[in-house]
A and B are shown apart, each in its own frame.
Chain A
């Protein structure tokens, strides 16, 4: 997809989203699409580090939760408007990403993966013991009364999420086709060779951990308004981290479209299964799909499609 094509598609999606808020009134539609879009941002963010450089982040849920808790803190302390909170969440989570990356990215990739797991538990313990934001009991968030011209607050949240999702896809796409993205791909293929040919590997990796962290924070920032009750168990839920890994892996990690395809596919399937069968089974299915895809089709759907077209041509 060339530049103008992508922009036209984004504009069309935005218009469709606006039309959707005008036409539909069943709040379930907005809640369901919100959940899928949230997972999409997380998947795109994970892929910026995981897919482009090959470093695995298991702590996605922690970045997400820090984003959510930044909102809660700012709401309680200053009562800021949502866009400012989203910015603040991006800043805080970007800095955390940078710090974790700086501590561990000079070591083998495995240590980064374990450190992100570790970071999740440390942050969860901190939040559990921080009574100002609710501690282990959790906290309630009141939904503000005003919602611009939308019919309800959840419609506005859906629109905000759509804008954020399109924005993160644009960032990921721009990264992958830029000079920076080629540097990241070089790191994934052979880090030593990349370093030897003059790619500033550490700096590039730090850029991508920062962008990844910021984007995950952005995905988490509106969450407290969406669910209206947040506790550490739900915000740091392992399922968020599993989804963030499974969606890019299933869609294909080597292309920016991979996590988008994976998120739309797996996310919608999850919504359908939750409604028709059960939410526990849905959680199990994601795990099984993840393991099956990485053992049998490590290139994901994008890889399968590429292979298919190559055979035909």
Chain B
């Protein structure tokens, strides 16, 4: 059962999968890592992104990645609106720990059930020219349905990293994470910056969702498997560090793929959670934490 090309294929496709995980986790790296908002509904927004791509792809034949990019501004506005509610109801009154968590849990549940009510529990998929093609290098295969999401995810990660480290607004977001009071003394409004950052985090879910449905068929409850993955990645990456997040995502992708290749796919979902529990128990600051 064990062979060199099986191993090589498992590692390479694990890297591709991990790259895609980075796209799903990056929104949470901003929202949870920088703003300390525990948005467990993030994967649910990713699924909404997938369904947006599915609807526009099946009706007008638009490319899923294009749909993701076009839908991102809409997701941004929704994110801003949700943050306004979250701020007014929980953050201002200091209720975010209990009620805020339950709020996002309820939101996740509503999104999932609404999707089930409207579209049912059938698996949906998109058609794109590249999803059936495969590039082969020697004995290593690079299927298009994995390669395209990987490339888009890397571009997205690089763009967010550049945005956070180079632009004024990006640095302001990092400043909110470090010292809210100091930011206020500089004459900046932390609420507006956080609202912008939260919108940005949700906007990435539109693109991640499009990538998810290119990789494979999607149904509403798929999002739940991603809760553990994205939190494992963000915590393991050291909360808010984009580079750390990327390395953690690649690590998780490779580990999951090795487990599913050599032990069977039914064990793969537990990997992320195992990693998460182990990280929390042994080194809660993550691999690259402060």
A294 surroundings in chain B (CB, below 8 A): 89, 99, 102-103, 106
Q: Does A272 contact B (CB under 8 A)?
A: no
Query: Which A233-250 residues sit within 8 Å CB-CB of chain B?
Result: 238, 242, 245-246, 249
Q: Does B154 contact A (CB under 8 A)?
A: no
A286 surroundings in chain B (CB, below 8 A): 109
Report the minimum CB–CB distance from A205 to chain B (whole Å). 14
Contact A280 B116 (CB under 8 A): yes
Q: How far apart sit A287 and B220, CA to CA, in the bound complex (Å)?
A: 15
**What band does the interface of chain B fall in when counting residues whose beta carbon is under 8 Å from A?**
35 or more
Count of A-B contacts judged by CB separation below 8 Å:
123
Question: Which listed residue (B85, B109, B281) contacts A242, Cβ 8 A?
Answer: B109
Which residues of B pack against A, CB within 8 Å? Answer: 38, 40, 85, 89-90, 93, 95, 97-99, 101-103, 105-107, 109-110, 112-114, 116-117, 221, 224-225, 227-228, 231-232, 235, 264, 266-267, 269-270, 272-274, 276-277, 280-281, 284
Q: Would you give the 0/1 interface string for A94-138, flagging 1 where the beta carbon is closer than 8 Å to chain B?
A: 000000000110010111011101110110111011000000100
Q: How far apart sit A107 and B281, CA to CA, in the bound complex (Å)?
A: 9
Known: A121-B270, A121-B273, A125-B266. A111 touches B227 (CB 8 A): no
Which residues of A pack against B, CB within 8 Å? Answer: 50, 54, 56, 58, 103-104, 107, 109-111, 113-115, 117-119, 121-122, 124-126, 128-129, 136, 238, 242, 245-246, 249, 253, 280-281, 283-284, 286-288, 290-291, 294-296, 298
Question: Which listed residue (A54, A115, A290) contacts B97, Cβ 8 A?
Answer: A54
Contact A290 B102 (CB under 8 A): yes
Contact A298 B99 (CB under 8 A): yes
Contact A136 B266 (CB under 8 A): yes
Question: Which listed residue (A56, A115, A288, A291) contacts B280, Cβ 8 A?
Answer: A115
Excluding A114-B40, A290-B106, 6 further A-B contacts by CB distance (< 8 Å) are: A50-B98, A110-B38, A121-B224, A249-B99, A294-B99, A298-B95
Contact A115 B277 (CB under 8 A): yes
Contact B284 A118 (CB under 8 A): no
Can you report 8 residue pairs joining A to B where beta carbons are below 8 Å apart? A111-B280, A113-B40, A118-B231, A118-B232, A238-B109, A242-B105, A281-B117, A283-B113
